[in-house]
Structures are given as structure tokens and as C-alpha cells.
Structure 1
Amino acid sequence: MHVRHLTVADFRSYTGADLALRPGITTLLGRNGQGKTNLVEAIGYVASLSSHRVATDQPLVKFGAQRAVVRAAVVREGREQLVELEITPGRANRAKLNRSPLPRTRDVLGTLRTVLFAPEDLALVKGDPGERRRFLDDLLVQRQPRWSGVRSDYDKILKQRGALLKSAAPYLRKGRRGSRRADGIDPAEAAADALRTLDIWDEHLATVGSQLIYARLRLMRDLVPHLQQAYREVADATSEVTARYRSSLHDEAAAAIAAGEVPEPEQIRELILESLARVRGQEIERGVSLVGPHRDDVILGLGEMPAKGYASHGESWSIALGLRLAAYRLLRHDLGDDPVLILDDVFAELDSGRRERLAVMIADCEQVLITAAVVEDVPEGLTGDTVHIRLGEVSSAPSSEALEDPVAVPAAPDEP
């Protein structure tokens, strides 16, 4: 799998840009602030419908423009497909595949698969649990795009359940029951209604949440051996990296899962309901949902110690890089072909030993896109095409062959 051509319009700093690509290694070279990361961000967006740099779409649209357009010609097993995305903050984004509109933007997921490693990935080791949950869930979607819908369903359930906890709290908290209020509401009746509704949302959360937890646990089982191997290779170390899933379920269930047990979805569903029953009082007091995949974490370790807080800067980089390389190898194994590997300003953060070892590890990848500020940051062994980025201008295209049939036709105002 590789990207043959990328076109952007009003994306980030670009009014318009075309980038011709071919298999092998391509280095996007330019000083900081010139726009090289914006281009690989656009490719990553085509694969995941999200940015590795920001949580919302608004910053992706050039200031003063109403929308951004990204097009990518993707080649897999000799067949080319054209993905077109229209990004419009505040409105539903739109997508086309081979010029045909799709009913849902997420229907393009799976057309292009990428693994993107960037300086922000240090947060996978040192950051909050949400960073590691997102890593797992994004990888689930890369493996099987249907998980995008499951994630969306769970987020909606969680939002509705949280709203109920907050709105019903005055009637559910101890000591709030009493005589009928001036507005005609009987606190006891309101509390009973709220509890019945909460039971319904508990069922929804347990049903969808159990699917997500089960998928994460199976993913962890497949991923960890790749992580351990990748860490050994990139760090050239004898210490072993570990990863265990920390669940928000009650203590007995959480301990079993942390030890590597993978319960069946129906069993996880029952465990979620049981755990919710145990913390209901706390949830009512705090007005938040305390059990479910949104409260879970992945605990990364190095030897006997947790990586967060104990691993050195270099070790943390090696673990983060190991996670991305493990994801790459897992996708390669699952799909039978290579996703596109993107290394965004990574080599500047690594010492010479890690640089050289990483270069050896990625030498056989079908397509590698590297961004760098200076050519000295890229190991000499990684030879290939070089594209210069200066003030948003793309120059030194790799070959006339790659430039054939570019997809640079501007979008009409009423379609992506």
C-alpha cells in the first residue's frame, strides 16, 4: 500500500499544494514552520479522520477559509483508489471514494492505513490514560474499521448517561426526598423515575462497553509480543518492556484482567453491571460514570518498574517508538501488506544509536515518509526521494512517473 499523490486545498497553512509520491523512502525536508508536518498530517487524516496534533477539525482549515479539502490517490495491490475529504468545522464533513459520495465519512476508513510516529507520541508513556486509550482504539479501527461505529456509539451512551447523573442528582442524593415541591415535582417519584432510566443506560453502557473492552484485551494479547521485540531492537537493551490492562471493574475482575485473562464479552458485560451497582452511590454524588472503557488504562513497565515516572527520556522514546512499530508489524501481519509509515520529525529526537537501529528496522517498508528540518537528521542509509518544503511551496518532485495523472483538480464549491 502506498500514497501516489496528495492534494490539499485550504488545509492548515496551504492555500493549495500537490505532493507526488512513490514507494520507498521520501524525505520532506524543510525548516520548522515551513509546512512539512501539515502534509503528513493530511495523509494521516485520510487514514484515521483525525489529526495526531489537535483534537478538533477547526485548526485544520486555513484561517479565513470555510473548509479544507484533502485528496489522496492510494495504491494497493496494483489497484488505485481516490479518497476525497471535505472538512467543514461546525458541519458534517463529507467524503467521496472514486468520485462517488459516501453516506458516512467513516466509510472511507480502511482505504488507507498509516502508522504515524511523532514527537507528541512521548505522551503515550508520560501522558494521561486517555493517550493510551486512544492509541488502542485507533489501532482497533485500523485493523477493523467497524470499531469506529462502536466507539461512536459508546461515546453517545456515555454522554447521555452522564447528563442523566447530573440532572437527576438532586433527586437521587440521600436526604433530598421530601414533600412535593412548589413546581409540582414529587422528589420521591422523580428519584424512582431517574433510577429506572439509569438502569436502562447501565444496560446500554455494559453492552457496548463490553465489546470495546473485549476488543482491547484481544488487541493487547496480539500487540505486546511485537512491542517487546520492537523495544529490544530499537533500544538495544536487555530490560523488557511490559504492558498490562488496568480495568475500572471491581477489584477481583480487574486483577484477573491485569494478569492477562480475556473474559468473553457477555462475562465482561455482567462484570460491568456488577461494578456499576457497587459504585452507584459514588456516581450519584460525583455526577460522572466511574466504570467502563473510558476509565481504563494501559500500564507500561520497564523491568519491575512502571515506565511513567521511572523510565529515562531515552527509554521513554524507545517505548513510544516500540508501540508504533508494534502497531505497524501487527497491521502488516493482519493485512498481508504494509501500511504507510510516517516518521514526523522523529530522528532529531533520537541519539545516533537509536537512529541507526530504526533505519535498519524500516528499510523494507513499502512506503516511508520522513519529515526533517535538516538532512543531517536522517541516517545516511535511508536513501530515497527528497521533497523540499519552503514557505508552503513544494519542490523537487521525485519523478515524472509519480506526477502522471495528478489529482489536483480544485473542488467545486458545492462538493468535496
Structure 2
Amino acid sequence: MHVTHLSLADFRSYASVEVALEPGVSTFVGANGQGKTNLVEAVGYLATLGSHRVSSDAPLVRAGADRAVVRAAVTEGERSQLVEIELNPGRANRARLNRSAPVRPRDVLGVVRSVLFAPEDLDLVKGDPGERRRFLDELSVARIPRMAGVRSDYERVLRQRNSLLRTAAVARRHGGRGVDLSTLDVWDQHLARVAAEVLAQRLALVAALAPLVDGMYERLAPGGGPVGLEYRWSLGEDGPAAEVSREKLYEVVLGALGEARGREIERGVTLVGPHRDDVLVRLGELPARGYASHGESWSLALALRLASYGLLREEGPEPVLVLDDVFAELDARRRVRLAELVAPGEQVLVTAAVPEDVPGVLAGARFAVSEGRVERE
């Protein structure tokens, strides 16, 4: 799979820009603040319906505009498609495929597949659990697009259950009459059912990723491993194995919710479930978070993304690989190792402040980015 044309209207710093792309390596070179990351961010948005830099859509719309449009022509084998997403902050976004009638954005997930590595990914190792949960869930959607709907359902049920718990907690603190909690059993069942699907995918994903991450880390930092991944539960017990049935997961989550109910009513929030889990990244015998050096953390984050790339390549169309301002953060040896690993990719998009940061093995198309213009050199 590769993107043959990228078109942006009122996206970030671009009032309008058209970029023709081709297979192989394409490098966007420009000083900081000129808009090169905005280009690859747009590709990532088409693939994930989110940005790797901000948590909401509003900053993606150019100042003074009320909407933005991201459009890409994508080729996979003999098939070409045109996918478009219209970003409408404060209102529902819309999507189109091959200029058809508007559909929900999640209905076009899978048309563009990408794996993006950026400086922010250091948080996959050093950051809070939410970063690692997001990593797993976005990769789950890339593998199985329908998981976007499952995630949405989980978040909706969780919000409604939390609302009921908060109301009960406030009433209890103020000595008022008790809130009717008769519907909590129903919400527990809804939450456990959707949680079981989320957990099944996460467990399978961690099991599939673990050997790939270890192998990628060895190639980036020979002799520095081994690397291990372990799913950490909020359920108060050792979690079931990756191959456990969804029905068993449903029973485990439902039981944990029952055990935590008193504490949840007191605190007004759901205390167990996928939204509170984590992934332990281990380097040798120690957790990477808090023990890995800066260089080791960079290599671990890269290994996680490259393992994701390898997994998606094994299971379907090869994704677009994006390296956003990565080489400047690496020493010379790691630059060369990374470049040699990614050079064979069907399409690799690279951003850099100066061309000297990009190893020569990544020869290909080069674009100069400056003051809202993107020109091929």
C-alpha cells in the first residue's frame, strides 16, 4: 500500500497544498515550524482518526477556518481509492470514499494503514499507562477496523456507568437520599461484555508483539536485551492467558466489578477494566520505565513501532511507515541501523530539519518545505 497523492485544505498551517507521492522513500526537509510534520500527521490521521501530537481535532484546523479537509489517493496492488475526511470541531466529522455520499469516519478505517514513529513515542516507555493503552488500541484498530466501534462502545458505557456512580457518591457525601442503583447490574453486564472484546484483542496483540519487539531491539541495540512485554491488569488477580475465551474474560471482569462495587460507589468512579490496565515493558529483568537509559528508551520505543509495522505487514497490506524527525534524536550507529531496517519498505515518509540527518541508504524523492510550500527538489 502507498499514498500517491495527498491533498490538504485548511489543515494546520496549510490553506491548501497538493503533494504527489510515489513508492519508496520520500523525505520532507525544512526548518522547525515550516509544516513538514503537518504533512505526515495528516497521513496518520487518515489511518487512525487521531493525531500523534494533540488529543482533539480543533488544533488541526487552520486558524480562521471552520473546518479542514484531508484527502489521499491510495494504491494497493491494482486497486486505487480516494479517501477524504472533513474535520468539523464541535460537530461530527464526515468521511467519503471514492467521492461517495458522506459516511462515518470509522467506516473508512483500513483504507490507509500507517505506522508512525515520532519523538512523542518516548512516552511509550517513560510515560503514563494511558500512552501504552492507546498504543495497543490503535494497533488493534489497524489490524481489525471494527475495533474502533468496540472502543467507542466501551467509552460510552464507561461514561454512563461513571455518571451513575458519581451521582451516588455525591448523594452519600451530602447525606441525601440514596440514589437508585438498581440499574448498576445492567451496566456491569454491558461494560463486562465490551471489556471482554477489548481485552481479548489486547492480550492477543501483546502475545504477537512480544517476540517481534525483542527481535527488533536486538537489531537496533545488539546485545542490549532481552525485551519482554507483560499485560498488567487492574482486576486484582493474575490475568488469564492470551488464548482465553471472551466468555471467560466476561466472567472475570464481571466478578471484579462486583468485588469493587463498594469502593466504586464511595469514590464515584469505575476502578477496574481495560481503561485502568497497563503494559509492562521489561529490559532484562527490570521494568524499562524508571530503569532504562535515554538511549535504551529510544531504542525500545523504536522497537515497539517497528514490531507493529512488522506485524501489520504479516497480516495484510504493507502500511506506510512514517519517521517524523527521528534521526536527529539518534546516534550515528542507531541512525544507520534504523535506516537499513526501513529502507526496503513499500513507502517510507521521513521528515528532517537538515538533510544530513538522514542516512544515505534512504535515497529517494526529496521535498523542501518552507512557508506553506512543498516543492520537490
In the superposition, the TM-score normalised over structure 2's length comes to 0.97
2:184 to 198, 207, 210: 198
Can you list the C-alpha shifts for 1:79-99, whole angstroms capped at 9, x where unaligned?
A: 110011111100001111000
Runs of 4+ in structure 1 off by over 3 angstroms are 170-173
Check if 1:372 corresponds to 2:352.
Answer: yes
Shift of 1:380: 1.2
Distance in structure 1 (CA, Å) of the matches to 2:81 and 2:242: 41
Residues 248 and 382 of structure 1: CA distance in aligned 2, closer, same or farther (over 3 Å): same
Query: Which residue in 1 is equivalent to 2:281?
Result: 300
Alignment partner of 2:340: what SS? helix
Q: CA 1:170–1:384 in 2, change beyond 3 Å: closer, same or farther?
A: closer
Contact 2:213 2:307 in 1 (8 A): yes
In the alignment, structure 2 segments of 5+ residues that lack a partner are: none
Aligned to 1:62, the other structure's residue is in SS state coil
1:212 aligns with 2:198: yes
Q: Name which of 231, 234, 248 aligns with 1:267.
A: 248
Tell me by how many angstroms 1:170 deviates. 4.5
* Match status 1:53 vs 2:47: no
User: 2:37 touches 2:351 (CA, 8 Å); kept in 1?
Assistant: yes
The equivalences for 1:87-236 within 5 A come to 87-170=87-170, 176=175, 187=177, 190-191=178-179, 193-194=180-181, 196-236=182-222
Using a 3 Å threshold, how does the CA distance of structure 1 residues 256 and 160 change in structure 2: closer, same or farther?
A: closer
Alignment partner of 1:316 is 2:316 = no
In 2: Cα distance, 1:131 partner to 1:54 partner: 13
User: Which position in structure 2 is the counterpart of 1:383?
Assistant: 363
Letter of the 1:386 partner, please give it: R
Corresponding residue SS for 1:71: strand
Residue type at the aligned position of 1:234: L
User: Which one-letter code corresponds to 1:245 in the other structure?
Assistant: Y
- Does residue 362 in structure 1 map to residue 348 in structure 2? no
Of 240, 248, 252, the match for 2:226: 240
The correspondence for 2:331, drawn from 333, 351, 375, is 351
CA contact (8 A) 2:62 2:68 kept: yes
Residue aligned with 2:134, SS: helix
Note closer, same or farther for the CA distance 1:79–1:289 as it changes in structure 2 (3 Å cut).
Answer: same
From 258, 275, 278, give the equivalent of 1:277.
Answer: 258
CA positional deviation for 1:6:
0.3
d(CA) in 2 for partners of 1:157 and 1:262? 25
Identity %: 58
The count of aligned residue pairs is 377
Larger mean Cα displacement after TM superposition, 317-326 or 388-397: 388-397
User: Larger C-alpha radius of gyration, 1 or 2?
Assistant: 1
TM-score (ref. length: structure 1): 0.88
The alpha-carbon distance between structure 1 residues 214 and 345, as it changes in their structure 2 partners (threshold 3 A), is same
1:248-263 residue pairs with structure 2 within 5 A? 248-251=234-237, 255-257=238-240, 260-263=241-244
Distance, in Å, in 1 between the alignment partners of 2:293 and 2:227 is 13
Q: Distance in 1 between matches of 2:201 and 2:271?
A: 20
| Letter paired with 1:380 | G
What secondary structure, in the 3-state scheme, does the structure 2 residue paired with 1:90 have? coil
1:28 Cα offset (Å): 0.2
Structure 1: where are the runs of 5+ without partners?
182-186, 398-416
Counterpart CA distance in 2 for 1:56 and 1:261 is 32
Aligned equivalents of 1:233, 1:102: Cα separation in 2: 44
CA distance in structure 1 between the aligned counterparts of 2:246 and 2:91, rounded to whole angstroms: 35
Cα distance in 1 between the residues matched to 2:306 and 2:103: 33
Amino acid in structure 1 at the alignment position of 2:127: G
**SS of structure 2 residue aligned to 1:101:** coil
